[in-house]
Structures are given as C-alpha cells and as structure tokens.
Structure 1
C-alpha cells in the first residue's frame, strides 16, 4: 500500500497563505528532519564547498563497496550506484556526475584486476554505467569535456583486455560510439 501524497498544487496554496515566521519554522523543521534537505540548503548557501563535499562523499561511498577500510568488500553495486544517483539529484554539475560514473567503472575494473573473474551481473552493471556515461557525453556534445575524460575512458577499456564475460568487448563497443562522435583527440 502506497503512502498518500499531498499534491504539489495543494502544498503550494498552503505555503502561499502561510505567514513568513511559520514558513521559516517549517523550513527549519524540514532541515532538521531530512539529510537531503540539509544538503540542498548547503548547496544553496555554500555552493562550491558543498558540491566538493558531496562529490567526495559519493566517491567514498562508491570506493567503500569495492575497497572498504576494514573487512571484506561487500560489492553492493546498487549502493555504489545509489551514491551517483543521489549526487545527480542534488546537483547539476554534469562533469562531476560523469566523473562519478567513470570512477564506479574504474573501481570495478580495478576490483577485477585485484580479485580475478567476478560474475555476469557485475560486468553487466559496469557495462551499463559505462554505456550511460558515454551516451551522456555524446548527448552533451562538448569536445572539451570529452577531452577531460578521454584518457580515463580509454584506460577503462584497455585495462579489461583479458577479462571474461565479454566485458572488454562490451566496453570497447561503447568506446567506439564516442570515438565515432568525437574522434581521437588529444
């Protein structure tokens, strides 16, 4: 059973008729109750500092699933991808979103190098994220941004040469798409 949701127009009408001191109190309560609201206001009030903090936090969450500081890797790929999604919901920094997606794939590639062959689900996840980031870079159509990531994109492909489950073939196919769009640039 789903939770009943207040329609946005109804909320808007309520807020329009609410005195400013009460609005401030409502916002403060939301801030205290919800971490995403805290992050949202941090981005509004201290954009650069908050953006860098959120980016580093997302990278830590991704890395933790592959290389925790203590214990064995959990490899909860959904948790690692959730870090990317949460960052993307809160910010519109396209470059950092691409960076996180590529970092996810790089962690997966390094994990396979360190621990050996994984499973098809793992490789499908890596290929899927790589494919999404290639598609986003093509759609964004900014050669300078592509140049920022070109070496890392190619390295992810090159570092999978002897991997199983068709992983290398999947990545090289996607990399071919971006080469068709931008060409090999330095």
Structure 2
C-alpha cells in the first residue's frame, strides 16, 4: 500500500527551488509579486523601496481599527495585528515596529473616543499593544524614545475619555516601564 502524502512543507518547496536558475527565480518572484498586494508590500518593505514602507501597513491598521461604519465596515483586531506581524516578517526594523505599534494605539484610542465603542476585547487588545509598544520603544536608542512616549501619553489621555479602566492600565504600564511622559515632551 503506498504511503500517504503529507502536507507539503518548506523543505519540499526548497527542494524544488534548487532546480531553478536565476531567470526562473526572478519569474517566480514576479508571479508572487503580481499575485497580491500583500506580497508587493512585503517585497517593497524587504528591499526598502518607495517613500514610506510603513504606508501600506498603516493603511491596514486604519482600515481595521477605524472602520467606516457608514459603509458597514467592522473592526478586526486580528487583521490589524497581522499587519504588524507582516511588517516584522518583511524587515522588522525596531523603529518601524515601534512606529506601527504606537500608530495602532493612536488609531484604536481615537476611534474608541470618537464613536463611543463598547467592545471590551478591543480595549484589552489596545492595552496589550500599548504594553508591546512600550517594550519595543525601551529597546530603541535613547534619542528615539521621547517622541514615541509622548504619543503614547496622548493615547493614555484619550483612554480617560473612553473609560473601561483603559487609562488606569496604561498609567500602571507607564510607571512599570519608568516612563515619565511629562519629561519626554
């Protein structure tokens, strides 16, 4: 009886790629490039192409964290977080990650404040991203931190308008990470 074929893995793909010549690999990458905007964003980011490699990731964050309710769009924390994960896979520069995480927090907090959102899981995700942003910023060179901390302090202030204990959680995180937002302005 023949053995069952298992699900293909990267090892299987790699074996097939070994038979490609340079023009064949370029043709394959071209096909992947034209197959989806996500692939295009990945390659643009990986190779540092364009004026702002963060732009497509920020557009995704805005779409899923601050949807147009008049068009019946919904929020999706999962899709928004995937944009950050996709950037991390493409190049993962710490300053770019910090920027995307702070931008996530800004979008989520401003949307919540603007529309009076009533979604505890959305708020929990915001606080978790706030903490991830603090961790990422703490690893940046000293001169890059103040502007990002100031932006997170603005997010915390918006949290006061939203309620649900968001600003209290953020206050505690700022203290835990030793951030005095007043000094970082």
TM-score by shorter chain over 0.5: yes
Question: What is the match of residue 6 of structure 1?
Answer: 9
The structural deviation recorded for 1:128 is: 0.8
Question: What is the match of residue 54 of structure 2?
Answer: 55
Secondary structure of the residue that 1:158 maps to in structure 2? helix
* Structure with greater helix percent: 1
Residues 41 and 56 of structure 2 are in contact (CA less than 8 Å); yes or no, is this contact kept in structure 1? no
The structural deviation recorded for 1:119 is: 2.5
Task: Please state if 1:39 is matched with 2:38.
Answer: no
TM-score computed with the length of structure 1 as normaliser: 0.77
Task: Please state if 1:107 is matched with 2:107.
Answer: yes
* Alpha-carbon distance in structure 1 between the residues aligned to 2:49 and 2:25: 27
Question: What is the match of residue 98 of structure 1?
Answer: 98
Question: What is the match of residue 159 of structure 2?
Answer: 160
Question: What is the match of residue 134 of structure 1?
Answer: 134
Count, aligned residues: 179
Q: Aligned in 2, Cα 1:141/1:86: closer, same or farther, shift over 3 Å?
A: closer
1:3-22 alpha-carbon deviations (Å, 9 max, x no partner)? 713343x6545544544444
TM-score computed with the length of structure 2 as normaliser: 0.77
The structural deviation recorded for 1:44 is: 5.2
* Alpha-carbon distance in structure 2 between the residues aligned to 1:177 and 1:183: 16
Unpaired segments ≥5 residues, structure 1: none
* Alpha-carbon distance in structure 2 between the residues aligned to 1:130 and 1:104: 9
Residues 105 and 130 of structure 2 are in contact (CA less than 8 Å); yes or no, is this contact kept in structure 1? yes
CA RMSD of aligned residues (A): 3.0
1:52-76 alpha-carbon deviations (Å, 9 max, x no partner)? 1x41222222222314285245122
1:85-139 alpha-carbon deviations (Å, 9 max, x no partner)? 222221233222212211221122112222225232121011011111111222x
* Alpha-carbon distance in structure 2 between the residues aligned to 1:15 and 1:7: 10
Q: Aligned in 2, Cα 1:34/1:109: closer, same or farther, shift over 3 Å?
A: closer
* Alpha-carbon distance in structure 2 between the residues aligned to 1:99 and 1:4: 37
Residues 157 and 175 of structure 1 are in contact (CA less than 8 Å); yes or no, is this contact kept in structure 2? no
Q: Aligned in 2, Cα 1:5/1:181: closer, same or farther, shift over 3 Å?
A: farther
Unpaired segments ≥5 residues, structure 2: 1-5
